[in-house]
Structure formats: structure tokens, C-alpha cells
Amino acid sequence: MGDDETMKKEALQIIGLFQNLPRLVVFDLDYTLWPFYCEFYYEDDTPYLYPEATGILYALKEKGIDMAIASRSPTPNIAKTFLDKLGIQSMFVAQETFSSWTHKTDHFQRIHRKTGVPYSSMLFFDDEDRNIEAVSTMGVISILVGNGVNLAALRNGLLQFSQCSGSSSSS
């Protein structure tokens, strides 16, 4: 638990560096929050997150930044079970996890309808180029992660978000 607390403190420091923050941070699941494809597991398996992900989630929550999930999976039931087992399911204001071979833009349209958050106020993390490219065209700042969500990806995402939203900020 000490590592999660350390990561949370570091994530809070990173978040504190930026004045313009996203209203909603959206995460993919497979190879973004956790290092596996959940369809290769069973509901009674024990899931785990990337080492820095838990601290980042708790830091965003503490800062009052809403979070959502946009994940394509042939086994959405296993994904939901894993979120439950990890004790983080309630942290997400929207969970768009469904078996679909359409673009991830469908997930974002649903998230937008549910939350009312404009695309320009969202930050997205995913491990697939094609998803980053598709969602970016909607006006969402999208960050490609190579080794899951970590502090460097968070810093990069907040920096890009801040740079893109700085001139058009309205509160």
C-alpha cells in the first residue's frame, strides 16, 4: 500500500503543476490500466493494475477530476468484475466497455451524452495508435501509452491538455 500512497503523492504534485485541468480523464483498460487482455482471463482470476495506475486514479479522484472508461472487449463482464475486485468501479462516472469492432469514437459519443463534458475538456489514455488517432479527431487530447498509465504519461497528458486548452479556457 505504501507504493500506491507514494504514487498518489507524486501524481498530486504533477497535477498541481497545471492550472488548466481536464474535467474528465478517460482510460482504456487492456494494456492501459492493466497489463493484459481481460478476455484471456476468467472472472475468478485476480486482476492487478500497472504499478503507478492506482496512485494516479486516487490522485485524480482527490482533485475532483471525473474519470471514465472507454474499452473494447469481447468480455465486458470480466472487465466489470475486475474493476469491482480492484475496488475502483465506483470511481468512474461512465463505463463504456462493450464488445464492438467499431471505432472508439462510439464510446466517446456515449460518454459525452452521459456526462455532458465537451470533448475539448477530456483527456484520454490508450495503448493503440488507431484509437488515439480516431479520438483525437473529435478534439480530445489523446495520449498513447507504451507501458500502461504511469506518471510520465500523466505529466505528458496534462501538459498537452494545458497547452491546447490554455488559450480557450472559460470557467
Supply 169's cell numbers. Answer: 479556457
List Cα–Cα distances, 102 to 48, 130, 153, in angstroms: 27, 11, 26
For residue 103, what pLDDT is reported?
77
Q: How confident is the model at residue 49 (pLDDT cuts 50, 70, 90)?
A: very high
| pTM attached to this predicted model | 0.94
What's the mean pLDDT in 54-83? 95
What is the per-residue DSSP string for 81-127? HHHHHTT-GGGEEEEEEE---S-THHHHHHHHHHH---GGGEEEEES
What's the mean pLDDT in 40-69? 97
What's the mean pLDDT in 17-46? 96
For residue 2, what pLDDT is reported?
61
What the chain holds in terms of domains, given with CATH numbers, is 2-166 (3.40.50.1000)
Q: Please report where in the chains the cell 483498460 appears, as a residue.
A: 29
Mean residue pLDDT of the chain comes to: 92
pLDDT at 87 over 60: yes
pLDDT at 137 over 70: yes
Strand pairing of 122-126 and 141-144? Answer: parallel
pLDDT at 25 over 80: yes
pLDDT at 145 over 70: yes
pLDDT tens digits for range 88-102: 999 999 999 887 666
What's the mean pLDDT in 120-132? 96
Query: Which residues, listed in sequence order, are joined to residue 66 by a DSSP beta bridge?
Result: 24
What's the mean pLDDT in 61-72? 96
pLDDT at 83 over 90: yes
Residues with catalytic function: 28, 30
For residue 165, what pLDDT is reported?
78
